[in-house]
Structure 1
Amino acid sequence: MRKSLQEFRDLMITENKLGLHADVLIAFDHLLDMVDDHEAQHQIELGIQRTNYENSNGLVEAAIREEMRFFREAIHTVIKKTVLDLIHVGKKDWQKFYDRVQ
């Protein structure tokens, strides 16, 4: 995911759009940090449970992994669409993904 974020940053540099919108990518980077921290905290909690010989529910763990995957894909999609909208601001033939991107 971080590699994609760097690719989006490079694309914005190539299109000379990063200067005005670097804060957008920083915000997405912080969002990814929060998802990573949440996942790490969950792993710590699992380790504590296992140290105490508590069994985890496999279905719940699978659902949590699926939810983390969904959030990462959603973040990637929103970053991609936002960057593309920023690059194409002012182009009449561009079909915007989000109306408020300027």
Structure 2
Amino acid sequence: LIDLIEMTEQTGGDATQLRELLELVENDAQQHGASNHLKEKLSDEEYLAEKRDQSHVEHGTDLECMICHQKFDQLISGTCEVCFKEWMLSTRKRG
């Protein structure tokens, strides 16, 4: 996630929402420390649904994904659905 933030900022993007999500993830890890192993048993789709519920969803027209820079009518934490999925799954800890 930190690499994604740095890459976004290096390419001139705004990583504010990514930083907010990083803070949310870090706070969640601190608050739930020992119970994180329960989350590992979620399927990828359940995990993504949980992360979507914790994220800011923006609706509009011609919204630009911070990662792929394509235009969409909805962004999740500043990213399109495909980039959000790849991003969240790449940060998921596996046993």
* Shorter-chain TM-score range: 0.3 to 0.5
Larger % of helix: which?
A: 1
Larger % of strand: which?
A: 2
RCO greater where, 1 or 2, for CA within 8 Å and sep 6 or more?
A: 1
